[in-house]
Amino acid sequence: MDPIASWSVLVVDDDPGVRQSLRLCLAADGARVLGVGSARGALEALEHGHFDVVLLDLWLGSDSGLEALPDIVRRQPDAAIIVITAFATFETAVEAMKRGAVDYLPKPFTPEQVRHAVARALESVRLKRRLAEAEVRLELAGADDDFFETESPSASAILKLASRAAKTNAPILLRGESGTGKNVMARWIWTRSQRAGGPFISVNCPSLSKELMNSTLFGHRKGAFTGAISDARGKVQEAEGGTLFLDEVGDLSPEAQVRLLRFLNDQTYERVGESKERRADVRIVAATNRDLETEVQTGRFREDLLFRLNVVTLTLPPMRERREDVPGLTRYYLERAKIRLHRPELAFSDAAVRALRAHPWPGNLREIRNAVERAVILSPGPRIEPEDLGIPEPSDTAEGRSPDTEVALGADVSLEALEREHIARVIARAPTLENAARTLGIDATTLQRKRKRYGLT
């Protein structure tokens, strides 16, 4: 968003005359200006609208603008705050800066001084937003998450559908096994939607505590529960104008499901401990690798919520159904990892190419990426061999057989080799080591020890 093209200012001053003159001065320059006379009015205005600049009087009758400053910053961290006061002292100016103001305007001021200060503040807002955008882009580039070329009919059908759905405001449900790229797809959809200029807020539902789930999502009022020391906005409000991604939506508590259903129906919600109805313009994208129909049958997931989320469903195919994409993906991950890890000389050996093709990749894209990165780190010479990838080499005698029969239960392998292989595969598939430890049924320290013992990265 370009703050200069369409910008808005909140004027917080208890003197109606000052509000009026600032409004006239800035409106003449093309700003949308809202004037309020108290700190409370300011906080309310910031709840409902978005402002590029806040002109804040430090003496607001019985209120103190200085005390309200941190709350204002919290509500809109990317707005530039200029404090104004008739009682300008150096100390208050410093204090205001410490609490998040970008500039200081002593009363009385001329329209020229106001314009000058606001223009500078807008420049700082613009810069801050550019930096934030660049950080997101860097993060995406560094994450190696933009391989959307495909030769597989099933994946290309999903991409087409996703691209069409992105342009609408309909909720989207992403389904697919772990590691098939649901998180990455959610961002891809956001960047192609009309909401790309707004925020992308991601919530991993299983990581939310049951007690704080509603407040994290919908916010709470001060005093709503022990520990609620101040009002808090939730993820829904943070996502205003953008997209809220609910990962593993099947983990939502029954009460959070009711709240989400209402929000999907009419875009309204209430904060925990508050009866005021709020509205937010947010697109919901949800993901699950569970069978939600079964969850409905067992009473863990609301059927009406599933219907509401299910308007557009995209099921991301597992790697075994898009084997034609393995060569392209492995080349892609290799090229990126070579640059990032400073090993430009590396290439796959013929045996590695065969092993990559033959491996079933049950952990999907995540497993492929982990295997290739592991190899780029571990490979001692310029050729990457199957053992660097941590996958078995398909032997001639094994041709036609599933490549992992070599480590199958009951084959001619030691228990140790079996354990090593199993741990390596679970780690490759799991999003985190904690996750891998949970799958293996051991604690993180034991996993750490075993990784060291078997030389697994």
Q: Which amino acid is at 219?
A: G
Residue-by-residue DSSP string for 173-203: EEE-STTSSHHHHHHHHHHTSTTTTS-EEEE
Using rule CB under 6 A, residue 454 touches ligand ATP: no
Rounded Cα distance, 142 and 341, in Å: 12
Nearer to ligand ATP, 19 or 425 (CB): 425
Using rule CB under 6 A, residue 318 touches ligand ATP: no
Question: Taking the complex as a whole, how short is the minimal distance between the CB of residue 177 and ligand ATP, in angstroms?
Answer: 7
Sketch the per residue contact string, 367 through 386, with ligand ATP: x for CB under 6 A, - otherwise: --x-----------------
Sketch the per residue contact string, 146 through 175, with ligand ATP: x for CB under 6 A, - otherwise: xxx---------------------------
444-454 and 415-429 helices, crossing angle to 10°: 120
Residue 408 in contact with residue 397, Cβ under 8 Å? no
Sketch the per residue contact string, 320 through 359, with ligand ATP: x for CB under 6 A, - otherwise: ----------------------------------------
Among residues 13, 52, 103, 144, the one that binds ligand ATP under rule CB under 6 A: 144
Question: Taking the complex as a whole, how short is the minimal distance between the CB of residue 318 and ligand ATP, in angstroms?
Answer: 10
| Segment contacting ligand ATP by CB under 6 A, of 139-147, 149-157, 273-281, 410-418 | 139-147
Rounded to a whole number of angstroms, the CA Rg of the chain reads: 27
Sketch the per residue contact string, 409 through 448, with ligand ATP: x for CB under 6 A, - otherwise: ----------------------x-----------------
Distance of CA 219 to the CA centre of its chain: 18
Q: Which amino acid is at 440?
A: L
| Segment contacting ligand ATP by CB under 6 A, of 49-57, 96-104, 180-188, 408-416 | 180-188
Nearer to ligand ATP, 152 or 183 (CB): 183
Using rule CB under 6 A, residue 183 touches ligand ATP: yes
Using rule CB under 6 A, residue 180 touches ligand ATP: yes
The token duo for 351 is: 């045996």
Using rule CB under 6 A, residue 366 touches ligand ATP: yes
| Segment contacting ligand ATP by CB under 6 A, of 157-165, 176-184, 338-346, 385-393 | 176-184
- 110-132 burial code (b ≥16 CB/10 A, e <16): eeeebeebbeebbeebbebbeee
Using rule CB under 6 A, residue 8 touches ligand ATP: no
Question: Taking the complex as a whole, how short is the minimal distance between the CB of residue 207 and ligand ATP, in angstroms?
Answer: 11
Question: Taking the complex as a whole, how short is the minimal distance between the CB of residue 145 and ligand ATP, in angstroms?
Answer: 5
Q: How far apart are the first and last CA of the chain?
A: 42
From 310, 397, 323, 398, select the one nearest 356 (Cα to Cα).
323
| Segment contacting ligand ATP by CB under 6 A, of 18-26, 181-189, 290-298, 320-328 | 181-189
Name the residue whose CB lies closest to ligand ATP. 181
Q: Where are the beta strands (DSSP E) in 29-186?
A: 32-36, 53-57, 59-60, 63-64, 80-85, 103-106, 172-175
Widest CA span in the chain: 90
Residue-by-residue DSSP string for 327-388: HHHHHHHHHHHHHHTT-TT-EE-HHHHHHHHH---TTHHHHHHHHHHHHHHH-SSSEE-HHH
Rounded Cα distance, 4 and 265, in Å: 35
Running DSSP on this structure, what letter comes out for residue 40? H
Using rule CB under 6 A, residue 181 touches ligand ATP: yes
Sketch the per residue contact string, 278 through 297, with ligand ATP: x for CB under 6 A, - otherwise: ---------x-x--------
Q: Which residues bind ligand ATP (CB under 6 A)?
A: 144-148, 176, 178-184, 287, 289, 365-366, 369, 431
